[in-house]
Chain A
Amino acid sequence: MNTNPTVEAVQLNETAAADPERELVDVLAEVYAQRFRNKEDPAIREYSEMFPEQAGEIWDAFPAVAWLEGALSPFGAAFISESQATMAAGAGDISVAKVISPRTETPDSIGDFRIVREIGRGGMGVVYEAVQQSLGRTVALKVLPPSNLNESQIGRFHREAQSAGRLHHTNIVPVFGVGEHDGMHYYVMQCIQGQGLDNILNSFHEVEGGFVSTNQTTEGNTGSSNTGVKEKSKNGSTTERTVNVGRRRIEIQTYETTRYWQSVAEIGRQVTDALQHAHDQNTLHRDIKPANLLLDVHDTVWITDFGLAKSLEEDAFDITQTGEVLGTPRYMSPEQLRGKAEKRSDLYSFGLTLYEMLSLRPAFDAQDRASLLNQVMYEQPPPLDKVNPRIPQDLVTIIHKAIAKEPERRYQSGALLRDDLERFIEGRPILARRTSSLMRLWLWSKRNPVIAGLSAATFLLVLLSAVIGWKGYADTRREKRKVDVQLDQTRKERGRAEDNLNLALQAFDEVFQQIGGDASLDAGGGKLALSRDMANMMESLLIFYTHFIERNADRKGLELEEIRAHTRMGQLYLRLGQFPEARASLENALILYDELPEEKRPDLFTRDKARLLRRIGTTYMTWFETSQARDLFGRAKLILGRALEKDSENVELLFEFANVCQEFAMLAPPKGMHEPAPEEEEHELPPKPAAAGGKLIPPFKEDALTAQSIFRRLIQESPKHPEYKRSLARSLRNMAEPHLAFWSTLQDMADPVH
């Protein structure tokens, strides 16, 4: 198109606005159709890019327009059919060849090659296992179907062979040559004994019962891997792997073992090394996905099917300029969907493959194309550690860096990704850093066309309104008047807004943690100074949480978030010295907590409830209303004690129990009472240490000593846990310096615990 896309988008928007009765997609389709009539060759993605919000609808309708205008290129059609078929099949990949051309009879021989059997159908052809008779060797033969071939397809086939032939790497399937026989074009590859990673993943799904619908598209005997691979029988194929020199063993039979994570990283190391090699030759793969990675019996991973590889040097003929997007969208990078594939796109696609290997689910799992495209363009896959907390954190960090939406935030080369994977394998610290949720939110906002381009200064404000006013946001969408489509659309938007809401909450929690973190550092010095910045920050957090509660009260599914918001407010008020407000917030949280239905209660329900009781107790303590405080601490101890009877080794419960004891110890005893409170029947706890021979004997010394012995035990069990040490230190100091106890307690309150 020679017009400036932005200008055109504006014009189209104006056209649409002038005719409000019509659907926007209708208006766009008319323009799109008109261009065919003007003998142009418009690409769908021009429109989906100009109107990203309608991208899904556009992709759902425009191919039909092209067909009606009799002008769709077969490859474009194949892409659509393929993605659709892939969608229907869940994780599976249906080959384009199946779609483009009806299955042809398997020939007996092609030239010098005697065909043994068909082993796969791929991007643009059928793969046979064959014997090259003159040399007596077994090869894989990739043959283009004899019909329906146009110049550009043949051209692409040869370029593919050429670029693949230039690559010499232990992890790239070698291409021996290229030829033509009776109008049939083919190329010859080494035949690899092994299987595609897609097959391996599928077998996991079969075992797991699958979160992804099982692949039903695999027809006949082709298998779903469209590769030059000779498949071994599914059973027993993994047992005979042996160590290969210079390569680590790959054992991926058992999920969730250390060996498994290491093996996935090893696969990653080999593939990224090969990608680096290809990229050094200016060759892109463009279609990295599980089906194009073969694992052989010698623990070697092979990249195959550089079928869409296109030499970077050949700028003159850019397939994607005229055709539609090539390849499987599930593993495609956002920039590739926009037609701008580069080296980092391959790394991204491979990152998604590793993601799937680690989590056994595709990063993007939408079942229909529109949602999938939307996911690829705008959504983050669920964090790996959320999907499975057992995946090693470093690996999680590496993969999420590899699959960042923005190419500049990814690993900039295969070598860098390979090096980090190697560091992980060898147990050295990796270079990649985790992205904070605040950063993720910021990145999200930049992707979001509505708020992209705002300065950082207004960001927080927008953030607040985006979160608080998310309902309004959904209402003002221009889809409003469209009944049918709108329902669907609104649902999607809502989903997005809610995702976002969670992200915002996370971000604010992170800010909160930082404030709390500082406070607890201060606690060490016994100071209570609050900087103006800090106070301001806390005020705005309070505003955020207040609005959040106002807006979202009674909303289903957000109860826990609401409780957390109340709790946070309580902690903030405490920190600001506003005790009545603090108490009100904490009590609200407690009420809501008690109202939680059984199935919604978190695992640490008792711990959290006890903690709330303790905190509320503290608000009384600061005003020396010790009887209320004692009552609350007593309740906390009681429920903790009961829970500990059932689960005496629960570290969280023990820790909270010790904390409550510690608070209890700070209370002055009720008048005329020298015995412990009645609730305080003791439970099986670690042996009490011999009485500390100090001069100062606090009233409830017993409690303090209990607390300390628990802290000691916890420290012994996990020496690295700073919280335990800090608590012990605080307890010891409070015993020694009762006049500091008040401040210490207060600071403890502001400590984040979630």
Chain B
Amino acid sequence: MTTSAPEISKLIERLRKGESELLHDLFAQHEERLKLMMDARMPEGLKSDESKSIILEKARRKAEESLAEYIESPSESFYVWLRRHAGASVEEHLKKHESAPSEEAESKSEDDTVSIQFFLRKTRKERLLDMEDLEAREAGILALRHFEQLDNKEVAEVLEITPAEASRSYVQALKKLNKILLDKPRLWQQS
């Protein structure tokens, strides 16, 4: 699904040497996961293929703009960096289209928190209602790992915590979700 880390650094190396058209390739490598990210963060009603490609295009432009900066001093892994730009594009898009943005979306700036709220409320309504016990951070970490299919290291980068902490929080979130699901058996039924 994704290109392995060494290959990516090779690509980045070539980017550095000026082969800027390579960004396109790099982007393509990650397109699938970016789409998952959008799936996870966009409400059902706005999830058309068209809007997705608009957002992707925007994200690519943004990434191009700050690529030089990134190459100069890559402070995070490429996908996390890319995902951040794409995430910003998603937010812009949502602001433009959401007629009545939720209060939480306004008040909380941490993108992942917001996205999981969107995700759950808009796509798995019934489950969300019963999932108040799950803290936003926990829901976020689960969404990153499963809906966006980030690995532990990437999650740690996104949330700016150590990989050990990320791993521990993830396992704990799983257990908590498990408990919630057990307490509310109806949630098991697929919507």
Contact = CB atoms under 8 A, between A and B. Distances in A.
Interface of A: 19, 21-23, 25-26, 29-30, 33, 37, 57, 60-65, 67-70, 72, 74, 77-78, 80-81, 84-85, 99-100, 102, 148, 482, 484-485
Given A65-B174, A67-B177, A70-B190, A33 B182 contact: no
A483 to B, nearest CB: 8
Contacts of A80: 182
Given A64-B181, A68-B177, A80-B182, A23 B146 contact: no
Interface in B112-158: 142, 145-147, 149, 151-152
A257 to B, nearest CB: 41
Given A67-B188, A70-B190, A484 B177 contact: no
Among B149, B167, B182, the most chain A Cβ lie within 10 Å of the Cβ of B182
A74 B151 CA distance: 28
A99 B185 contact: yes
A524 to B, nearest CB: 64
Nearest to A147: B189
Contact of A81 (B149, B163, B170, B188): B188
B47 interface: no
Interface in B171-188: 171-172, 174-175, 177-178, 181-183, 185-188
Contacts of A19: 152, 163
A64 B171 contact: no
Contacts of B61: none
B164 interface: yes
B12 to A, nearest CB: 23
- A interface secondary structure, majority: helix
Contacts of A37: 149
Contact of A102 (B149, B178, B186): B186
A77 B178 contact: no
A102 B188 CA distance: 12
B151 A30 contact: yes
A485 B164 CA distance: 13
B189 A74 contact: yes
A29 B151 CA distance: 11
Nearest to B151: A30
Given A61-B178, A63-B181, A68-B142, A29 B149 contact: no
B137 to A, nearest CB: 16
Given A22-B164, A23-B168, A23-B170, 17 more contacts: A21-B162, A22-B167, A23-B167, A29-B174, A33-B145, A57-B175, A60-B175, A61-B175, A63-B182, A64-B175, A64-B181, A67-B177, A68-B177, A72-B188, A77-B185, A78-B188, A102-B186
B162 to A, nearest CB: 7
B188 A77 contact: yes
Contact of B146 (A68, A74, A85): A68
A74 B174 CA distance: 19
Contacts of A26: 152, 167, 170-171
B171 A25 contact: yes
A580 B149 CA distance: 73
A516 B161 CA distance: 64
Contacts of A60: 174-175, 178
B146 A22 contact: no
A60 B177 CA distance: 9
A435 to B, nearest CB: 37
Contact of A21 (B163, B171, B181, B185): B163
Interface in B40-62: none
Given A22-B152, A67-B177, A68-B142, A61 B185 contact: no
Contacts of B188: 67, 72, 74, 77-78, 81
Q: Which 7 A-B pairs have the closest CB atoms?
A: A77-B188, A22-B167, A64-B178, A61-B174, A68-B146, A21-B164, A64-B177
Contacts of B171: 23, 25-26, 29, 57, 61, 485
A484 B165 CA distance: 12
A102 B189 CA distance: 11
A62 B174 CA distance: 8
Nearest to A72: B188
Contacts of A22: 152, 163-164, 167
A100 B172 CA distance: 26
A19 B162 CA distance: 13
B146 A484 contact: no
A592 to B, nearest CB: 44
B85 to A, nearest CB: 25
A708 B43 CA distance: 95
Contacts of B187: 67
B19 to A, nearest CB: 32
B142 A484 contact: no
Contacts of A81: 182, 185, 188
Given A21-B162, A22-B167, A68-B142, A30 B177 contact: no
A34 to B, nearest CB: 9
B133 to A, nearest CB: 13
Contacts of A99: 185
A72 B152 CA distance: 23
B170 to A, nearest CB: 6
B147 to A, nearest CB: 8
A52 B122 CA distance: 39
B130 to A, nearest CB: 13
A30 B182 contact: no
A29 B173 CA distance: 12
Contacts of B149: 37
Contacts of B185: 77-78, 81, 99-100
Contacts of B181: 63-64, 67, 77
Among A23, A74, A77, A484, the most chain B Cβ lie within 10 Å of the Cβ of A23
A72 B178 CA distance: 12
22 contacts: A21-B162, A21-B163, A22-B164, A22-B167, A26-B152, A29-B171, A30-B151, A30-B152, A33-B146, A37-B149, A57-B171, A61-B171, A62-B174, A63-B178, A64-B174, A64-B177, A65-B174, A68-B177, A72-B188, A77-B188, A84-B182, A100-B185
Among A21, A30, A77, A484, the most chain B Cβ lie within 10 Å of the Cβ of A21
Interface in B5-37: none
Among B145, B162, B163, B188, the most chain A Cβ lie within 10 Å of the Cβ of B188
A482 B168 contact: yes
B190 to A, nearest CB: 7
A84 B178 CA distance: 11
A506 to B, nearest CB: 37
Nearest to A36: B146
Contacts of A69: 146
B39 to A, nearest CB: 12
Contacts of A61: 171, 174-175, 178
Contacts of A25: 171, 174
Contacts of B186: 102
A68 B177 CA distance: 9
B191 to A, nearest CB: 10
Nearest to A37: B149
Contacts of B189: 74, 148
Contacts of B190: 70
Contacts of A70: 190
B122 to A, nearest CB: 16
Nearest to A87: B182
Contacts of B163: 19, 21-22
Among A64, A69, A77, A80, the most chain B Cβ lie within 10 Å of the Cβ of A64
A485 B167 CA distance: 12
A81 B187 CA distance: 11
B165 to A, nearest CB: 9
Contacts of A102: 186
A21 B167 contact: yes
A84 B181 CA distance: 10
Contacts of B145: 30, 33, 68
A80 B181 CA distance: 10
Nearest to A69: B146
Contacts of B167: 21-23, 26
A591 B167 CA distance: 53
